[in-house]
Structure 1
Amino acid sequence: MFQVDIIEQCKQNNRKAQLQLYNQYCHGMYIVAKRFLKDANDAEDVVQEAFIKAFSKLNQYKAEVTFGAWLKRIVVNKSIDFLKSKKQELVELDAVHLKVVDTTEDDKWLVEDTITLNDVKNAINNLPDKYKYVVMLYLIDGYDHQEISDILNISEVASRTQLSRGKAKLQELLTVKTYYGTRY
């Protein structure tokens, strides 16, 4: 069955088609939610809420982007809303999706070889929230500034500014400090 056919059947409340669409996307959307949320149960809840919202708003889906991209945006928004409501910290990153070194924009954005993935995770978790969300959405999820401004309800200029400051703060946090030759 083609993707368009499944979506059309879902729009008509076909439960079998909805289950098929859910099964196709639930694991990927869980991974997206897990990047933002520490607790697996919270990530599962957010994914469930995202699917409920997606199915209830399916008539608004215009196929300007893939269904997966449309659903991912809902999951990201739901994850951020959850974090804001619980004032929890951002979380674990999947090493496969990590793009900390963005050399296309800034050649000096390099870190020392001694920096580990855990160092990067901790540094991102220690960023102020206003930088943390923009850094994660841009560097990890690959959203552009227009999409980030829509997701976070900020201007594109604010997105660019917060990314720049967030990257600078991240680089500062990732700079290896030594004291008489000993890393601390």
Structure 2
Amino acid sequence: MFQIDLVEQCKKNNRKGQMQLYRQYCDGMFCVAMRYVKNTKDAEDVLQESFIKAFQKIEQYEGNVTFGAWLKKIVINKSIDFLKSKKHQTVPFQESHMPLEEDDNWNVNDDITLNNIKCAMEELPEKYKYVVMMYLMEGYDHSEISQILDLTETTCRTRLLRGKGYLKQLLKEKNYGARH
């Protein structure tokens, strides 16, 4: 069955159509949630809440993007909301202390592994971490990230550049090194 037919069935509250869409997207969306929440049980909760929201709001799906892309935005937002709800009191990060790096060079030394980068990304302040993750791991552009996180594109670009600088600094501190 075609995806558009399944979506139409879901708009009519057809449970069979909902189950088919769920089965089609649950594994991929679970992986997206895991990249953010880092815990299987929490990712399952986020996934369930995301599908519930998607089916409740399916009338808003207009077909401008694939259903998977639309659902992925919901999963990312639910993941971020979940993390915010679990967040303990933290010391605010002073953005003004980070110099703004004005290039698009994301190169790092060849001996740095993807795992090294992922670990360092976890240490980024939240406002940088999500922008960097969405750009590098999810492949979103500035326009899409700004829509998902409700930021201006300028703020998105600034946070990405500062996040990149911070990430390179973290990699250096861990003696992984980073190209300049």
What TM-score bracket applies, with the shorter chain setting the length? 0.7 to 0.9
Residue of 94, 103, 106 corresponding to 2:104: 106
Residue 129 of structure 1, CA deviation: 0.9
2:53 matches 1:56? no
CA distance in 1, matches of 2:65, 2:147: 15
CA distance in 1, matches of 2:174, 2:155: 30
- 1:72-94 per-residue CA deviation (whole Å, 9 max, x = no partner) reads 00000000110111117xxxxxx
Structure 2: gaps (5+ residues): 89-102, 176-180
After TM superposition, list the pairs within 5 Å mapping 1:17-166 onto structure 2: 17-87=17-87, 106-107=104-105, 109-166=106-163
Residue 177 of structure 1, CA deviation: 6.9
> Where does structure 1 differ by over 6 angstroms across 4 or more consecutive aligned residues?
none
CA contact (8 A) 1:134 1:159 kept: yes
Identity, % of aligned positions: 63
CA distance in 1, matches of 2:65, 2:17: 20
Partner of 1:5: 5
TM-score w.r.t. structure 2 length? 0.84
Residue 44 of structure 1, CA deviation: 0.5
The one-letter amino acid paired with 2:58 is L
CA distance in 2, matches of 1:49, 1:176: 38
TM-score w.r.t. structure 1 length? 0.82
Residue 176 of structure 1, CA deviation: 6.5
CA distance in 2, matches of 1:78, 1:72: 10
Residue 120 of structure 1, CA deviation: 1.1
Q: Out of 148-157 and 35-44, give the one that drifted further.
A: 148-157
Aligned residues: CA RMSD:
1.6
- 1:118-164 per-residue CA deviation (whole Å, 9 max, x = no partner) reads 32122101111111111001111111112111211221111000000
- State the aligned residue count: 161
Structure 1: gaps (5+ residues): 89-104, 179-184
